[in-house]
Amino acid sequence: MSRNGAVTPDWQFTVEVQEGETITYKYVKGGSWDQEGLADHTREDDNDDDVSYYGYGAIGTDLKVTVHNEGNNTMIVQDRILRWIDMPVVIEEVQKQGSQVTIKGNAIKNGVLTINGERVPIDGRMAFSYTFTPASHQKEVSIHIEPSAESKTAIFNNDGGAIAKNTKDYVLNLETKQLREGKLTTPPSNGDSPESDWPGSETPSHDGGATPGNGTSPGSGGPSDGTSPGGSVPPGGTAPPGNGAPPSAPPQKPSPSKPKEKPRKPTTPPSQVKKVYWDGVELKKGQIGRLTVQKPINLWKRAKDGRLVFVRILQPGEVYRVYGYDARFGGQYAVGGGYYVTDIDTHIRYETPSKEKLKLVNGE
């Protein structure tokens, strides 16, 4: 693909295709689907409500064309990119007038946009304008964007992966006018982090849920409370009574000392099974491997009728024990409690322990 002029946004790509053949294609930047170009699917109608305006790009949103000879064995197809999937928000202007700042830009159609903690409307042309008075010494402002609940159902078809690509947090520097992806962070009041001194938290999940290895199994807590299957809230310490000193007791007369008994050798109950560890994390009986999320991916729950029901979107870094594999629905890893994650090798990493460890943990 080559640039068709140095001062225009036009690009040109030439390919040889047999006449009468139908080709299916899409546009991307940098050779990555994470930077997919969302094109106008109806070239003849500039006024239609194309799904690309909403930032939706997934399987089935491809472009198609049937090749025919328009003269001199050539055919010209002109496409227009409406949005880029990795840019649900674009800042076009940051103006300072006295003590006020005005931010202008465009965002996905029917999106839920929040700037500096305030909801900002997006008009029919996908443009927005927000004016506010920064706090003293404020140099950055937070921006959040995501599809509306209506769009998630009607446009995105509850596709978690596509929704995640349009759900982003940004930080805008009011001095440099640069926009970076991420959250505006402030130092915690007590200096503690959610993962500090947390046993088994080598790879903590994004929402504070414990990863496999803290003694919980996937499915021990429903994800409706914001935790992942197998997640738990770190144990909260209880404050000592009074001013922090241990409770006092009335003085008692010392009792005569008893003769010391000879220490007995501790015995291990025959039913107790020795714990088996894999990379420092305890293996659970029935576990066949572990799954690490690489890119946002859907978590599913198996319904009574066998259907998979969307639960939430898993984020990179979350780790789950795997207890089985279901070849239906494109291949699903069972992570316990009736929850499943789709086998997509570009979004997850699946690993298995040695056969010896599996035999030990399962008492074989």
- Comparing 68-72, 128-132, 139-143, the range with the smallest average pLDDT is 68-72
pLDDT in the model for residue 100: 95
Alpha-carbon distances of 32 from 12, 27, 29, 36, 167, rounded to whole Å? 19, 10, 6, 7, 18
The DSSP bridge partners found for residue 72 are none
* CA angle (183, 189, 191) in 5-degree steps: 90
pLDDT in the model for residue 242: 42
Question: Quick one: DSSP state of residue 188?
Answer: -
229 phi/psi in degrees, rounded to 5:
-55, 130
- Structural contact between residues 63 and 108, judged by C-beta atoms closer than 8 angstroms: no
pLDDT in the model for residue 141: 94
- Structural contact between residues 147 and 166, judged by C-beta atoms closer than 8 angstroms: yes
pLDDT in the model for residue 14: 87
154 phi/psi in degrees, rounded to 5:
-80, -35
309 phi/psi in degrees, rounded to 5:
-110, 130
Nearest to 19 by CA among 86, 53, 69: 69
pLDDT tens-place string over residues 205-219? 333 333 333 333 343
Q: For the chain, give the mean pLDDT.
A: 76
The answer on pLDDT for 347 being more than 50 is yes
- Structural contact between residues 137 and 115, judged by C-beta atoms closer than 8 angstroms: no
Please give the average per-residue pLDDT across 178-194, as a whole number: 62
pLDDT in the model for residue 255: 55
Q: Tokens at residue 215, please?
A: 């003694």
pLDDT in the model for residue 277: 87
pLDDT in the model for residue 169: 94
pLDDT in the model for residue 78: 85
- Comparing 21-30, 175-184, 221-230, 263-272, the range with the smallest average pLDDT is 221-230
- Structural contact between residues 113 and 120, judged by C-beta atoms closer than 8 angstroms: yes
The answer on pLDDT for 17 being more than 80 is yes
Strands (E), 122-233: 127-132, 140-147, 168-173, 179-181
pLDDT in the model for residue 273: 54
Q: How far apart are CA 284 and CA 212, in angstroms?
A: 9
Please give the average per-residue pLDDT across 258-280, as a whole number: 64
279 phi/psi in degrees, rounded to 5:
55, 40
pLDDT in the model for residue 253: 52
The answer on pLDDT for 76 being more than 60 is yes
- Structural contact between residues 341 and 291, judged by C-beta atoms closer than 8 angstroms: yes
Domains of the chain: 2-83 (no CATH), 89-181 (2.60.40), 277-361 (no CATH)
**Model pTM above 0.85:** no
The answer on pLDDT for 63 being more than 90 is no
- Which of 5-19, 60-74, 86-100: highest mean pLDDT? 86-100
Q: Tokens at residue 321, please?
A: 């024990």
pLDDT in the model for residue 175: 92
What sign results for the dihedral spanned by CA atoms 316, 318, 322, 325? negative
| Residue with tokens 């994470």, as numbered in its chain | 34
Kind and range of the H or E run holding 350:
strand 348-351
Q: How far apart are CA 137 and CA 99, in angstroms?
A: 12
The answer on pLDDT for 117 being more than 70 is yes
pLDDT in the model for residue 36: 85
Alpha-carbon distances of 54 from 11, 19, 270, rounded to whole Å? 23, 34, 62
At 268, the amino acid letter reads T
pLDDT in the model for residue 185: 72
